[in-house]
A and B are shown apart, each in its own frame.
Chain A
Amino acid sequence: MAKKPIKSASQRANVKKTLSVAVDPQVGFVRTEPAPLLPPPPSEGGFTGWLYKNIFASMSDFGSFGGATKSIFMGFVTLILSYFLVTQTLALLDFAIFSAVWSDPKGLEREACWTVEQGGALPAGWHAACWPFIQAKAKFIFYGAYPSDELWRVNLAYLVGSVMLAWVMIERLPYRKIVGALLLTAYPVFATVLLTGGAFGISTSTIGVYTILSLALITMGRLGKAGYVSGALGDLASVAGVCGWVVILFAAVLAVFSVDFSLEAIDTRDWGGLLITLVVAITGIVASLPLGILLALGRRSDMPVARFLSTVFIEFWRGVPLITVLFMASVMLPLFMPEGVNFDMLLRALIGVTLFSAAYMAEVVRGGLQAIDKGQYEGADAVGLSYWQSMRLIILPQALTHVIPGIVNTFIGLFKDTALVSIVGIFDLLGAAQSTLADAAWSTPVQGLTGYLVVAVIFFIFCFGMSRYSMFMERKLSRSRNR
């Protein structure tokens, strides 16, 4: 029977044998067993195979004129690039490690990195890193003019921040959500007080007014919940309750800011170096995400006014370079404020950076919102969730996880862009390093390259780390999506 399924290999072989014999009686030999396995050709396995596949495969076509031309060209390019890679790697290692001057025991300062021609002791033609210069300037490059006796405050802020961040990122630890919430709310307050010294001179009566207001609002919310007011007024009461909690948080922050912890007050003009870079980047990151989400929701809203305003805001900030924003913040912001109100330079830059990156964040989030299936919106509506409920519980969790890579990329861009604040006179990492280059006591021809190398490595570590983390998250999320 033709349609009978053939079950095993031996049966199949039998069928074939009988068939072929039946077709052609002249066949003298029919293999009944599989041929013995041969080892793979040398171009496939082992080290030579790897070498062939990864390097020589692209230059081994000599079958035609075009193929030969291409092979020879590729051979040339490969040779030149390998030469370049090897020599440049060696040159970098030599510059940074092997030929570098590591210490300055005699306190010679710039003469420690001078060659014979310049009057020093190093051989002529020497060109490598001058690490004593960095050692001497390390405090300035990392902390700016922050008082040396108070550096423990910066270090403590770093330590607490990094421990909390690590806690949130390691998945095995308990209470990650609570730590994350504290990192976004309590930690900024803590760090602000620690770094500036707190005691902003907020009067007790202001805090009292806010506290009473919040208590009143919360009481209204409670009353609504308990059923004393019903219907539409009940809705209003619950909104008032939520507002009350926000106000009480605000009052608590003000209260903490007003307490005198007897820390020495340190003006932000004395901050500098890596400290400024991290403060600007982290503030920008923490503040731009919620603002960006609001703008993205506004741009996709049904209300024409909200949509128009969000679109104009986003397109305006995305259309101008960050430098012009910083110029505007430093030159025009004082004009916008009533007389007597004066922001310090750092705060102006922070406002500019936050608004700028919020616009970019909004576009990333909007991408995520658009990627969500329409059924999700309709499903949320069908269950009877309000707009904010459906956004908070259904749409945003999905949209945000969807665009984590985009969000992290915006963070990386923001982190790199912090370098621009040095143009409006704030000494961030790059600005501080650049200003140390003007110090005549360390004036050597290698000073610039050494300083830039340090700054580049620090930026690279942060940005590369963030991009790897985003790739890790992306892989993890795509695993959970494709389950």
Chain B
Amino acid sequence: MRLEKLINDTKFRGLFFQVLLGLSLVLAGHWLFSNTIDNLTNQGKTLGFDFLSRTSGFQIIPTLGTWVLDYEVGRSTYLDVYFIGIINTAIVAFLGILAATVIGFVVGIMRLSENLILRTFATIYIEVVRNVPLLLQLFFWYFAVLRLLPGKREKIELFGGMAGLNITGLYLPAPVVGQYFYITIMAVLLAILLGFYLKKYASIRQADTGQILPVFWMVLGILIVVPSIAFYLTGSPLDWSFPEFKDTGPKLRRGYQDGFGMAVVPEMLAVLFALALYTAAFIAEIVRAGILAVNRGQTEAAFALGIRPNITLRLVIIPQAMRVIIPPLTSQYLNLTKNSSLAVAIAYPELVSVFAGTALNQVGKEIEMIFMMMMVYLTFSLLTAAFMNWFNSRVKLVER
């Protein structure tokens, strides 16, 4: 019987089920879509992105994003709000990743220390931080710790008065860039380029003659000397604006003054503390696992060849450990970026809070705005995934 043949044919079966799956999905999609259109027409709404050019009507607390885009209520558009959200997310993610990496590597190595005190400290830190929700830690930093800071009219001095801290935020000196400062920046880039060439040359020279150049010190020298020369030749085009604190005069005017230095709002500090310390605990575990994954025989073989311990560490252990560490490390970086969205709970103006929160309440374009917000995170993760694939193919063990 032909029907029987067809049903028992695995190829036909596969095709049949795939068509079935695709069809049901299309039907479900159509159902959802028509529902949405119905609901939207009932509510008198339309789809479209024209709201992006409308001017926004709400305040955003001063952050990097509002500074970069020069935000002003009544003049800036919702597209500006979108970019402010992205910039604020990106800066928290960037600083958080830096801090989490440093803390994570230190704690991870401490966890493997032969010193009991260091080991205990690292273990307690990791276990406590990993088993308590990030949102709670964020609340802890924002509502419990940062509220203990002195009030608006007082301060804690840092770095001999160059910086200061109170409940309204952290005040740092701000760079005031002169006209020819770009030349110094170009000099830095040039120095980096020179460093790369030097390193390349040094390894060629080592392969030819066996002599090792002190590359690290030479690169460090270049990185300091070249930009400094450019900086002084162009007439030191960089000034610092120090935060100014008034403790005399009318009582309501006392405290840190606007327009001097750089203020970091306490919301951002809390988000940074929470994100960095939370992610660092996970990075520490990754680092520990990575170091333990390097076979003990590798160290012993290097010692047997007469290679000194610090060079063994640098040339034998770390490269192999890094191969294990980097893939989960990148996914932790991605997690940190995604977790920065928790900042909505304490109203730090990052993407979710400012765009999918306040702006969405004002505009009411749910579908477009949530779509735009998700696109940002999806782009971040696709870029990370692309980097991971590139990295994995680069460091993959070449098996013979």
Contacts and interface: CB of A to CB of B under 8 A. Distances in A.
Interface of A: 53-55, 57-59, 74, 77-78, 81-82, 84-85, 231-232, 235-236, 302-306, 309, 315-316, 318-324, 327-328, 331-332, 334-339, 412, 416-420, 422-423, 430, 434, 437, 448-449, 452, 455-456, 459-460, 463-464, 467
Nearest to A457: B132
A336 B35 contact: yes
Nearest to B360: A331
B123 to A, nearest CB: 11
Contact of B344 (A235, A318, A323, A459): A323
Minimum-distance CB pairs A-B, first 5: A319-B381, A463-B131, A54-B116, A321-B338, A419-B133
Contacts, number: 162
A58 B117 CA distance: 11
Contacts of A304: 18
Contact of B352 (A321, A334, A460, A463): A321
A452 B131 contact: no
B117 A81 contact: yes
B330 to A, nearest CB: 13
Interface residues of B, number: 62
Interface string B37-56: 01110100000000000000
A335 B40 contact: yes
B117 A85 contact: yes
Contacts of B114: 53-54, 57-58
B35 A430 contact: no
8 contacts: A231-B1, A232-B7, A302-B14, A320-B378, A324-B356, A332-B366, A335-B39, A463-B130
Interface string B350-370: 001000100010000011001
B186 to A, nearest CB: 37
Given A305-B18, A336-B36, A456-B132, A321 B341 contact: yes
Contacts of B7: 232, 235-236
A449 B144 contact: yes
Given A423-B344, A460-B128, A452 B115 contact: no
B5 to A, nearest CB: 8
Nearest to A412: B131
A300 to B, nearest CB: 14
A78 B374 contact: no
Interface of B: 1, 3-4, 7-8, 14, 17-19, 21-22, 25, 32, 35-36, 38-40, 42, 113-118, 120-121, 124, 127-128, 130-136, 139-140, 143-144, 147, 338-339, 341-342, 344-345, 352, 356, 360, 366-367, 370, 373-374, 377-378, 380-382, 385
A335 B43 CA distance: 10
B3 A232 contact: yes
Contacts of B133: 416-419, 430, 459
A335 B127 contact: no
B370 A460 contact: no
A54 B128 CA distance: 23
A5 to B, nearest CB: 31
A431 B355 CA distance: 23
B42 A321 contact: no
Contacts of B127: 464
A303 B12 CA distance: 11
Contacts of B144: 448-449, 452
B345 A423 contact: yes
Contacts of B342: 323, 420, 423
Contacts of B39: 334-335, 339
B332 to A, nearest CB: 12
Contacts of A331: 360, 366, 370
A336 B32 contact: yes
A337 B117 CA distance: 58
A335 B367 contact: yes
A81 B25 contact: no
Nearest to A456: B132
Given A318-B381, A323-B342, A419 B374 contact: no
Contacts of A417: 133
Contacts of B22: 305
A425 B352 CA distance: 15
Contacts of A464: 127, 131
A376 B127 CA distance: 38
Contact of A324 (B17, B352, B380, B381): B352
A54 B131 CA distance: 27
A323 B341 CA distance: 7
A308 to B, nearest CB: 10
**Interface centre among B17, B132, B360, by most A CB within 10 Å?**
B132
A378 to B, nearest CB: 16
B389 to A, nearest CB: 13
A448 B144 CA distance: 6
A324 B373 contact: yes
**Interface centre among A59, A236, A302, A455, by most B CB within 10 Å?**
A455
A231 B19 CA distance: 24
Contact of A416 (B134, B139, B370, B374): B134
A305 B21 contact: yes
A8 to B, nearest CB: 34
A422 B373 contact: no
Nearest to B381: A319
